[in-house]
Copies of this chain bind each other. A is one copy, B any other.
Amino acid sequence: MTVDEARERAAAALEEAGIVLTDAERAAIEVADFGLDQLEEVGLQLLVYVNTDRCCAKELVLFPNQACPEHRHPPVGDDPGKEETFRCRRGSVTLRVAGSPEIVLQPGEQFTIPPNTLHSFSAGPEGAIVSEFSTRSRDETDVFSDPRIVR
């Protein structure tokens, strides 16, 4: 699957879920393969609605069984690190958060991940659409446990 194919597939999944996007947003869907070149297994498609100094909202699209590898959002200056709430919209997503039992979110269910806390997540067999509500997103400072990963 190419990046363009992944972007189109993610846009189609969002549309099927009744999420209306502008043409500019569809074209701006970010496809992250984390530098591992195995996108269908390890990857993430993201649409960023807003990301200011203070808060951020995104839609995450995961293909069936696709996973986002373990990482944390460390403190940056006065910011204690990104706090994220994941709300499942379609499909299901399994969250693994340090210090918590494994959590499976179905549509309408959500979980808030504290700052600077290791976490990973993966979609169930139908894939997943997840809304993320958070403080400012600074992807470039994320710390991944797998040293091969480039974000």
* Residues of A participating in the B interface, judged by any CB pair closer than 8 Å: 17-22, 25, 49-50, 52, 54-57, 83, 85, 87, 89-90, 107-110, 112, 131, 133-135
Contact = CB atoms under 8 A, between A and B. Distances in A.
B85 A22 contact: no
A86 to B, nearest CB: 10
Given A57-B57, A108-B25, A133-B133, A83 B52 contact: yes
A110 B18 contact: no
Contact of A55 (B90, B107, B134): B134
A20 B107 contact: yes
Nearest to A106: B20
Given A18-B17, A25-B108, A107-B20, A49 B135 contact: no
28 contacts: A17-B18, A18-B19, A19-B89, A20-B89, A20-B90, A20-B108, A21-B108, A25-B108, A49-B85, A49-B87, A49-B110, A49-B133, A50-B85, A50-B112, A50-B133, A52-B83, A52-B112, A54-B55, A54-B83, A54-B135, A55-B55, A55-B56, A55-B83, A55-B135, A57-B57, A57-B85, A57-B131, A133-B133
